[in-house]
């Protein structure tokens, strides 16, 4: 996961900073007559002085690959962190389902929401294609599913309440279509890239066939005399047996 590459920069910074800190501490305590508190302060400065440049350098490499600035990445990560508990809340609605129709609807909504979340987590640069999902669509879906699943289980509902639940069910279907539109927007560039690859393959196909056809014809020309010769040898052997 690309998102993990950024997190690895923190570990790399710590891994390389620790031995540098120990070396600085060894030099400070061995060759200089500083007080102990000053030695610790120097070691802390050595750690920070080594950690920050290493972490910034390794994380910058990841951000360049993703095509994002550090500010944009932090902004995206903030919204991903806010969306994580909402996705978990949406998944917990399975326990409240009381009908097969509602179960299928909740499954589909959960599946789309998790795909969008995980795709943006792996490819943060796609966040801005589906920012409305993180700003409004996910919140609306989670809140409506939670209220609907709670109220649909209540006993002794009157006609008006049943009508409101039906309206909520129809709204959930609309929200599901909205999430599907978000998913299409998320994958639009990938489908375009695949379409280009298919077109290129079709263009190159005649050239490949032109190369393969002469080779096949040559092989056939070689096979025919060989087969004919084998047939003549079999006929000759049969004649010898009869004689």
- Examine residue 78 and state whether it is found in any structural domain, yes or no: yes
The CA distance from 94 to 63, in Å, is 37
On whether both 77 and 185 belong to a single domain, the answer is yes
What does 144-181 look like in DSSP terms, one character per residue? HHHHHHHHTT-SS--HHHHHHHHHHHHHHHHHHHHHHH
Look at residue 21 and tell me if it is in a domain. yes
Q: Same domain for 36 and 56? A: yes
Give yes or no for a contact between 112 and 91, defined as CB atoms under 8 angstroms apart.
Answer: no
To 5 degrees, how large is the angle CA 50–CA 66–CA 133? 120
Same domain assignment for residues 128 and 29? no
pLDDT tens column, 23-65: 877 787 777 767 777 878 888 888 888 777 877 777 777 777 7
Of the residues 29, 47, 66, the one at which a domain ends: 66
Q: Is residue 237 part of a domain?
A: no
Yes or no: say if 171 and 144 are a contact pair by the CB < 8 Å rule.
Answer: yes
Same domain, 107 and 179: yes
Same domain, 82 and 37: no
User: Does one domain contain both 147 and 61?
Assistant: no
Q: To the nearest whole number, what is the mean pLDDT of the chain? A: 79
Would you say residue 236 lies in a domain? no
Q: Which residues of the chain have pLDDT under 70?
A: 1-11, 33, 206-243
Domain range for 113 is 72-198
Query: Based on the domain organization, do 61 and 105 belong to the same domain?
Result: no
Question: Is 40 exposed, middle or buried (CB count within 10 Å of its CB: 0-12, 13-18, 19+)?
Answer: middle
3-state secondary structure labels for all residues of 73-106: HHHHHHHHHHHHHHHHHHHHHHHHCCCHHHHHHH
Q: Are residues 24 and 115 in the same domain?
A: no
In a domain, 48, yes or no: yes
Tell me the backbone φ, ψ of residue 32, rounded to 5 degrees: -130, 145
With respect to residue 212, please indicate whether it lies within any of the assigned structural domains.
no
Count of structural domains, the chain: 2
Q: Is residue 227 part of a domain?
A: no
**Residue 218, token pair as written in the block:** 């040559």
| Residue 108 and residue 44 share a domain | no
Residue 187 to residue 116: CA distance in whole angstroms: 10
Q: Are residues 130 and 189 in the same domain?
A: yes
Query: Does residue 93 belong to any structural domain of this protein?
Result: yes
User: Which run of H or E residues covers position 233?
Assistant: helix 159-242
Output the pLDDT for position 25.
79
Same-domain check for residues 62 and 170: no
Give the three-state DSSP class for 136. helix
- The CA distance from 120 to 132, in Å, is 13
Instruction: Compute the CA torsion angle 102, 104, 109, 113 (nearest 10 deg).
Output: 140
Pairwise CA distance, residues 219 & 230, whole Å: 17
pLDDT at 144: 92
Same domain, 120 and 157: yes
């Amino acid at each position: 996961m690309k998102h993990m590459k950024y997190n690895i920069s923190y570990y790399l910074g710590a891994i390389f900073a620790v031995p540098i800190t120990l070396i600085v501490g060894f030099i400070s305590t061995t060759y200089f007559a500083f007080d102990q508190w000053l030695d610790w302060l120097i070691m802390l400065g050595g750690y920070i002085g080594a950690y920050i440049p290493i972490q910034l350098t390794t994380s910058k490499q990841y951000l360049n690959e993703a095509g994002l600035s550090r500010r944009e990445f932090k902004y995206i990560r903030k919204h991903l962190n806010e969306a994580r508990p909402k996705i978990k809340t949406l998944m917990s609605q399975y326990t409240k389902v009381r009908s097969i129709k509602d179960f299928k609807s909740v499954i589909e909504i959960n599946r789309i929401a998790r795909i969008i979340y995980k795709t943006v987590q792996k490819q943060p640069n796609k966040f801005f294609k589906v920012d409305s999902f993180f700003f409004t669509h996910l919140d609306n879906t989670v809140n409506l599913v939670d209220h609907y699943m709670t109220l649909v289980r209540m006993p002794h509902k009157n006609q008006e309440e049943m009508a409101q639940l039906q309206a909520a069910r129809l709204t959930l279907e609309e929200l599901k279509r909205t999430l599907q539109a978000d998913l299409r927007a998320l994958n639009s560039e990938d489908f375009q890239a695949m379409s280009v690859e298919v077109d290129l393959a079709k263009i190159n196909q005649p050239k490949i066939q032109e190369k393969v056809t002469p080779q096949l014809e040559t092989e056939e020309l070689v096979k025919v005399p060989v087969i004919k010769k084998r047939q003549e040898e079999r006929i000759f052997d049969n004649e010898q047996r009869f004689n």
